[in-house]
Amino acid sequence: MQIGIYPDINSLSHEAAQIIVRLANEATVTRGRFSIALSGGSTPKALFGLIATEPYLGQINWPSVEIFWADERCVPPDDAESNYAMAKEVLLSKIPIQPRQVHRMPAEKADRDAAAQEYTLEMQRVFSTNGIPAFDL
């Protein structure tokens, strides 16, 4: 593993976008699918915006991508604090991806345990496993 130090968020985001493109292409060639778990907050927002534009947009085989979330706030999906809402606005609404490829956490549910179990089952369904799924990124 290499640790990089970048002068600003823009430089960091461009480097991260290049890594995502490389990993997506490697996974698609090797396994026919690229799975990614997105984080929320302000740091990845610039990165998501870059991936949704050229030259990065055209370098990813979007029909082979499965998008999940690494974390989410316990709010409805359209709430301003929702990580899904930010990704939808900045990335998902701008890329050629089908709703069936987007696997958001049902974080708005009052029963958090049931929501976690539902998301676990969704990951197991997509990854065809009863164990812990292995994301490409």
Q: For residue range 24-39, list pLDDT tens digits in order.
A: 999 999 999 999 999 9
* pLDDT band per the 50, 70, 90 thresholds, residue 15: very high
98 assigned to some structural domain = yes
In this prediction, what percent of the chain has a pLDDT beyond 90? 92
Number of domains, the chain? 1
Place of tokens 């960091």: 12
- DSSP label at residue 100: G
State whether residue 76 is helix, strand or coil: coil
State whether residue 69 is helix, strand or coil: strand
Q: Cβ distance 43 to 9 under 8 Å? A: yes
What are the φ/ψ torsions at residue 55 (nearest 5 degrees)? -85, -10
Distance CA 63, CA 35 (A): 11
119 assigned to some structural domain = yes
Query: What value does the mean pLDDT of the chain take?
Result: 96
Specify the pLDDT at position 43. Answer: 86
Q: What is the pLDDT of residues 47-65, one digit of tens each?
A: 999 999 999 999 999 999 9
- Which CATH number goes with the domain that contains 26? 3.40.50.1360
Q: Which domain holds residue 67?
A: 9-127
β partners of residue 102: 67
Q: How many residues in total does the chain contain?
A: 137
Q: What is the pTM of this model?
A: 0.94
3 assigned to some structural domain = no
Q: Cβ distance 10 to 43 under 8 Å? A: no
Question: H or E stretch including 37?
Answer: strand 34-38
60 assigned to some structural domain = yes
Specify the pLDDT at position 131. Answer: 78
Specify the pLDDT at position 26. Answer: 98
Token readout for 131 is 């164990």
Mean pLDDT, residues 43-49 taken together = 95
4 assigned to some structural domain = no
Instruction: Decide if pLDDT at 130 tops 80.
Output: no
